């Protein structure tokens, strides 16, 4: 029986030559074995997935957040979705400056939202995303995307592969749809599959009047009882940002008047009719 000699695995051409040299010296009493030392590679979860759809750029990002009304655990990775307009993408690509100008180009991603300063007559600053640190975060995200894809046209279109990568990062975590922009612009089959496998989710749309099919997943963003009633006729629960208390509804537990008792990732009440809860929610506008 042949004697066995074990060698460490070779990685370079030099190692291969060493192996051949040793083989030459051995007579047929010996047998050489290469130990495979390579460790199985851990599958790395992709942290940002981007595609283009109808003059928007849509992003799903897995990462931590510093916003403790959303997630108190600073180490927990959650998924947040964003939509930007093609004009905002090109604004950053062309090195144009100005926060007002940037938000003023949210035409295809914020649509008819009453806080969208791209719409005639709407003042800048009404939307909670119009803050300097949020703006800087969006610029940095878009610059990162531009480094990778160079132009709007080179961004990939939504397809099956992108769909499954996004669903994969959403498994067993909290998903915040529409951290910026309209989440109703995401493909509905993607929203459905994410909500099937994530831990909890939240999402809000000002486009409830034209998308009754999204009432399963998202809250209608409304501002008074009248709008809440209309949204209910379309099948929606509402998230009502109001100046007066509406005690027939649930007060958001992450609000200042609610005493910051919870976070969105724990509470998850803003998850349409398919998620948690039956009633509409209200929060006081300050």
How do beta strands 174-180 and 200-202 pair?
parallel
Taking CA atoms, 71 is separated from 74, 140, 193, 281, in Å, by 7, 22, 22, 19
Task: Between 185 and 281, name the residue whose CB sits nearer to ligand SF4.
Answer: 281
Binder to ligand SF4 among 55, 146, 193, 262 (CB under 6 A)?
Answer: 262
Cross-strand bridge partners of residue 205: 220
Cβ 201 to ligand SF4, closest distance in Å?
A: 9
Q: How far apart are CA 251 and CA 241, in angstroms?
A: 10
The secondary element (H helix, E strand) that includes residue 251 is strand 250-251
Considering only residues 154 through 213, tell me which ones interact with ligand SF4, judged by CB under 6 A.
Answer: 202
Q: Are 118 and 106 in contact (CB under 8 A)?
A: yes
Is the distance from CB of 180 to CB of 204 less than 8 angstroms? no
Instruction: Identify the residue among 187, 212, 235, 253 touching ligand SF4 (CB under 6 A).
Output: 253
* Rounded Cα–Cα distance for residues 246 and 256 (Å): 15
Paired tokens of 253 = 């537990």
Residue (155 or 264) nearer to ligand SF4, CB: 264
In whole angstroms, the minimum distance from the beta carbon of 239 to ligand SF4 comes to 6
Which of 145, 185, 241, 270 forms a contact with ligand SF4 (CB under 6 A)?
Answer: 270
Work out how close the CB of 81 gets to ligand SF4 at its nearest, in angstroms, rounded to a whole number. 15
- The answer to whether 264 contacts ligand SF4 (rule: CB under 6 A) is yes
Segment interacting with ligand SF4 (CB under 6 A) among 11-19, 71-79, 143-151, 251-259: 251-259
Contacting residues for 48 by C-beta, under 8 A, at least 6 apart: 59, 60, 61, 62, 63, 141, 144, 145
Tell me the torsion sign for CA atoms 268, 236, 169, 167.
Answer: positive
Q: Which of 60, 177, 56, 59 is nearest to 118 (CA)?
A: 56
- Regarding 254 and contact with ligand SF4 (CB under 6 A), the answer is yes
Name the residue nearer to ligand SF4 (CB basis): 175 or 264: 264
Binding status of residue 269 toward ligand SF4 by CB under 6 A: yes
Number of residues that bind ligand SF4 (CB under 6 A): 11
Q: Which is nearer to ligand SF4, 242 or 262 (CB)?
A: 262
Shortest reach from residue 195's CB to ligand SF4, in Å: 14
Q: For ligand SF4, which residue of 162, 169, 214, 252 counts as binding (CB under 6 A)?
A: 252
Shortest reach from residue 78's CB to ligand SF4, in Å: 13
CB 252 to ligand SF4: min, Å: 3
Chain-centre distance of CA 188, in angstroms? Answer: 15
Rounded least distance, CB 177 to ligand SF4, Å:
11
Cα 105 to Cα 87: distance, rounded to the nearest angstrom:
6
Positions touching ligand SF4 (CB under 6 A) are 202, 252-254, 262, 264, 267-270, 281
């Amino acid at each position: 029986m042949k004697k066995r000699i074990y060698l460490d695995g070779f990685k370079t051409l030099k190692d291969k030559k060493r192996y051949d040299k040793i083989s030459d010296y051995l007579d047929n009493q010996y047998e050489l074995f290469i130990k495979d030392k390579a460790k199985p590679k851990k599958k790395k979860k992709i942290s940002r997935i981007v595609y283009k759809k109808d003059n928007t750029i849509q992003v799903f990002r897995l990462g931590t957040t510093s916003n403790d009304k959303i997630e108190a655990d600073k180490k927990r990775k959650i998924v947040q979705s964003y939509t930007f307009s093609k004009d905002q993408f090109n604004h950053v690509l062309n090195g144009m400056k100005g926060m007002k100008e940037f938000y003023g180009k949210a035409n295809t991603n914020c649509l008819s939202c009453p806080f969208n300063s791209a719409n005639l007559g709407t003042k800048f600053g009404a939307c909670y995303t119009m803050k300097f640190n949020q703006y800087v975060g969006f610029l940095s995200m878009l610059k990162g995307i531009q480094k990778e894809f160079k132009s709007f046209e080179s961004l990939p279109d939504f397809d099956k592969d992108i769909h499954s990568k996004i669903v994969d990062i959403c498994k067993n975590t909290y998903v915040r749809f529409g951290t910026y922009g309209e989440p109703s612009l995401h493909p509905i089959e993607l929203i459905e599959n994410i909500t099937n496998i994530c831990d909890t989710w939240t999402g809000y749309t000002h486009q409830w009047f034209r998308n009754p099919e999204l009432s399963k997943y998202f809250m209608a963003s409304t501002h008074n009882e009248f709008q809440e009633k209309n949204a209910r006729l379309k099948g929606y629960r509402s998230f009502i940002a109001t100046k007066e208390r509406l005690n027939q509804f649930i007060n958001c537990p992450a609000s200042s008047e609610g005493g910051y008792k919870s976070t969105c990732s724990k509470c998850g009440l803003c998850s349409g009719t398919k998620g948690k809860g039956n009633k509409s929610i209200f929060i006081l506008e300050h």
